[in-house]
Amino acid sequence: MWRFNLIKEISDKGKWIISSDVAIVIADKYPKAQQHFLVLPKADISSIFELTREHLPLLEELHLLASNIVEVRGLQWKDFKVGFHAEPSLERLHLHVISQDFVSSCLKKKKHWNTYNTELFVPYEVLRDKLKAENSYQRLSPDVIHALLATPLCCNQCDFKPRNLPLLKEHLEQHLQNKSGQNKSVIYTKIETAKDKINKMDAKEKNEHKKEQIIQNIRNELKKKINDKEHILIESDQAVVVKADYPKAQYHFRVVAKADIADVTKLTADHLPLLDHMMDLAVQIMEKQDHVPSRNFRIGFKADPFWDRLNMHVISDDFYSMSMKRIRHWNSFNTELFMPFQQAYIMLSSEGAIEPISEEESEKLKLQVPLHCNQCDFESPLLLSLKAHLYTHWQSKEHERQIKKQTDSIVKLLDEVKLDDNAQPLPSAISEGQSQQEVSTENVYGPPINMMNQANINNPFRGTPPRFGIAAAAPPQRPFVNAPRHQRPGNPFARAPRPQQKVYPYGYAPRPQLADNHFGPPSRPYGIHRGNMQPRGPMPPRFSTAPANTVFASFNQQPRFAPNNPPNQRPRAPKQQQNQRPRAPNPQQNQGPRAPNPQQNQENPPQLTYNPNQTNLIPKHKPTPAANAGQPAAK
């Protein structure tokens, strides 16, 4: 039956122009304008009359695909009408995405015109608001429909009132030609030239063109993710947190803005509250990785972003990942191509804009060698040898984490014994401190680890090439160096200070000197170790005691896209106390203190929804103003 023609149409995947998990875009078979698409849900929803509030997310997805198809075709959103017919003729809910020229041989009847140019056409927003308010959309009465169909013709672009449809069509063609003549960024000219261009292309050019289109499609992926609840770890009204698809470190998330902002260079000072909010979400996702201190995360933007949507990286600084495959991957996080959050924030506050990095400069930075380790002085022209080196850092940190975890559990146990003298320690608590297996379950609180040594054929570490001697790089044997020293006055179980233990300000101790060959094989084919991982003189205190504005001042003196972590100056953080919130980000380490935003209502943090099905992460607490505790206040 003709009523089911659309359902039949979408059963053929070849007709799908773009699709998402829940919806499809096809071309209208009888287009009533130069461009006419239909967006349909995959779910069996027959018409708008079936919709309720519950369908609002779906409706949003249809709308998103509508904007995608316009974009993918290189057209302009403002030239389109997007909505539903109040009295649809075909089954399966469908959203019309139609260009407003209405120049088409299929537009044959006055009825066609009036179904798009009177109240018989229900714009997307109207239907959405109606559902929000009334939870359903009611059919118009036959009388009203009849009256609307009889509405006298009137041009949609000027006041012209033609006597009949042929006159209107002639007139509409005139509008279209005029626009083409203006040779502006009007869709009609664009459509023609794009098509013409493709026709004129040779096979190679066509191939290139196809590639470009595919890339553009990929660039749009991030936008789709915003509506894909499956991928969302944290959601607020303004942004979502998702796991990076190709994580470049063990923990790699993106905070993606919901507003249609292409990238960091499109921000203005008006967006500072949004940045504040995105930072709040970043803090929350870092908190959830409770075995990784926040100082081990970098937060910032790609100065030369690929994705077509503002997104902020929250990435652990191990850069230990199988997806780190190219020099440009490394450089995009470890050169001026990465713009730390604070830098972006300050530039927006002071200059009101962030200038895009030039293509030339960006290309140069992407391929820049040698590659410098972000954790010591090591450098190498080869990514593979840097990766082998990063592995040793990762290994030693992992070892420290294990030791810390074991010590913590013993200390906790001792605490419990102290609180209740009669209490017997739980057997489970004891075994927690002892069992290697249980300790290694710590990762249930984080995303799956990108284990480099897994048996993936793309894994450069598979089989561990002997020339890098990874197998020989044993984890550093310095137990308890980083174990917390819980000194509770009057606690009989408190440990005595270690012999020769120096007292350092801010609670950190420089790393001990390590044997020269500690982190690598005796002969290294590539790369230079300069004083590998040795302490480098006094470390600057983590929090400046100078007035807050000096922190910012020193930042302002940095080059436009300053390297994030000046080698040799990695500040150490004070020991983190148990149960404390992650520390305030370090100004020199990208996660710097934000100037408090007067526009941000700190009493009412945005409502967040958290999808517990997504990961094993356990939601802790909502962001509170305390999240900024310890950050210098900028005036």
Beta strand 608-610 with 252-257 is: unpaired
The residues carrying an active-site annotation are 94
Q: Which residue, 89 or 569, is less far from ligand AMP as judged by CB?
A: 89
Q: Which residue, 30 or 77, is less far from ligand AMP as judged by CB?
A: 30
Spatial contact of 362 and 560, defined as CB atoms under 8 Å apart: no
232 vs 40: CA distance, rounded Å: 23
Spatial contact of 468 and 431, defined as CB atoms under 8 Å apart: no
- Closest approach, Cβ 357 to ligand AMP, in A, equals 44
Query: What tokens appear for 215 in the block?
Result: 């890339």
Q: Which residue, 89 or 207, is less far from ligand AMP as judged by CB?
A: 89
- Closest approach, Cβ 223 to Zn ion, in A, equals 34
- Closest approach, Cβ 156 to Zn ion, in A, equals 7
Q: Which does 85 bind (CB under 5 to 8 A by kind): ligand AMP, Zn ion, none?
A: ligand AMP
Q: Could you say whether residue 76 binds Zn ion (CB under 5 A)?
A: no
155 vs 254: CA distance, rounded Å: 46
Q: Which does 161 bind (CB under 5 to 8 A by kind): Zn ion, ligand AMP, none?
A: none
Q: Which stretch, 48-56, 148-156, 289-297, 537-545, contacts Zn ion (CB under 5 A)?
A: 148-156
Q: Could you say whether residue 157 binds Zn ion (CB under 5 A)?
A: yes
Q: Which residue, 151 or 157, is less far from Zn ion as judged by CB?
A: 157
Judged by the rule CB under 6 A, the positions of this chain that interact with ligand AMP are 5-6, 9, 26, 28-30, 38, 85, 88-90
131 vs 125: CA distance, rounded Å: 10
DSSP state of 201: -
Q: In the range 486-525, which residues lie near Zn ion by CB under 5 A? A: none
Q: Which stretch, 63-71, 155-163, 390-398, 548-556, contacts Zn ion (CB under 5 A)?
A: 155-163
Q: Among 45, 155, 261, 449, which residue interacts with Zn ion (rule: CB under 5 A)?
A: 155
Q: In the range 158-217, which residues lie near Zn ion by CB under 5 A? A: 158, 160
Q: Which does 29 bind (CB under 5 to 8 A by kind): Zn ion, ligand AMP, none?
A: ligand AMP
Indicate if the alpha-carbon torsion angle 49, 55, 60, 62 is positive or negative: negative
Please choose, from the candidates 252, 352, 236, 227, the residue with its C-alpha nearest in 3D space to the C-alpha of residue 302. 252
Q: Which residue, 29 or 53, is less far from ligand AMP as judged by CB?
A: 29
Q: Which does 592 bind (CB under 5 to 8 A by kind): ligand AMP, Zn ion, none?
A: none
- For 169, residues 6+ apart whose C-beta sits below 8 A from its C-beta are 103, 107
480 vs 416: CA distance, rounded Å: 21
Q: Which residue, 31 or 527, is less far from ligand AMP as judged by CB?
A: 31
- Closest approach, Cβ 325 to ligand AMP, in A, equals 42
- Amino acid at position 203, single letter: A
Q: Which does 487 bind (CB under 5 to 8 A by kind): Zn ion, ligand AMP, none?
A: none
Angle at 34 between CA 30 and CA 38, to 5 degrees: 50
Spatial contact of 223 and 309, defined as CB atoms under 8 Å apart: yes
- Closest approach, Cβ 367 to Zn ion, in A, equals 54
- For 351, residues 6+ apart whose C-beta sits below 8 A from its C-beta are none
2 vs 88: CA distance, rounded Å: 13
Q: Which does 155 bind (CB under 5 to 8 A by kind): ligand AMP, Zn ion, none?
A: Zn ion
- Closest approach, Cβ 154 to Zn ion, in A, equals 9
DSSP state of 333: H
Q: Which does 480 bind (CB under 5 to 8 A by kind): Zn ion, ligand AMP, none?
A: none
Spatial contact of 38 and 97, defined as CB atoms under 8 Å apart: yes
Indicate if the alpha-carbon torsion angle 388, 389, 393, 395 is positive or negative: positive
- Closest approach, Cβ 19 to ligand AMP, in A, equals 15
Q: Which residue, 157 or 534, is less far from Zn ion as judged by CB?
A: 157
Residue with token string 């005796």: 522
Spatial contact of 312 and 299, defined as CB atoms under 8 Å apart: yes
> Residue with CB nearest Zn ion?
155
What is the binding site for Zn ion (CB under 5 A)? 155, 157-158, 160
